[in-house]
């Protein structure tokens, strides 16, 4: 008998923040992936469905992913957890032009 998979807890307002870069019409999605118990999910895969944009969370569950503006489905997966898909919209807005780490680990 297998145990039920735990689910990810995505806190959309505090987890996915959007900033952008005016020169290349792209944005940055940043966040923290947590389990339903509130524990960080380390080394989870975060990707934009149907694209090649992806990265992994660090040991604290944090991720940063640079992608062009537009509507996407963000997919979060990790061994032992249920895969989660959520619609997002990346908008261009000049707030953080110095951020240049497209898949940073912290």
Q: What is the distance between the alpha carbons of residues 53 and 100, in angstroms, rounded to a whole number?
A: 15
- Among 40-49, 65-74, 86-95, the range scoring the smallest mean pLDDT is 86-95
pLDDT in tens, 85-94: 999 998 875 5
Alpha-carbon span 90 to 106, nearest angstrom: 21
Share of the chain above pLDDT 90, in %: 51
Q: How far is CA 6 from the centre of its chain?
A: 18
**104: closest CA among 38, 32, 51?**
32
pLDDT of amino acid 24: 61
Give residue-wise pLDDT tens across range 1-29: 434 455 444 433 334 444 434 456 888 88
Residue 59 sits at the vertex; the CA angle it makes with 19 and 10, to the nearest 5 degrees, is 55
Query: Stretch 49-56: mean pLDDT, rounded?
Result: 96
């Amino acid at each position: 008998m297998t145990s039920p998979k735990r689910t990810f807890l995505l806190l959309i307002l505090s987890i996915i923040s959007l900033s952008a870069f005016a020169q290349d019409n792209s944005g940055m999605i940043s966040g923290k992936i947590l389990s339903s118990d509130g524990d960080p999910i380390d080394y989870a895969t975060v990707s934009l469905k149907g694209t090649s944009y992806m990265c992994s969370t660090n040991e604290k569950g944090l991720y940063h992913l640079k992608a062009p503006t537009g509507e996407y489905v963000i997919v979060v997966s990790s061994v032992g957890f249920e895969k989660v898909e959520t619609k997002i919209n990346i908008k261009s807005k000049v707030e953080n032009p110095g951020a240049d780490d497209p898949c940073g680990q912290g």
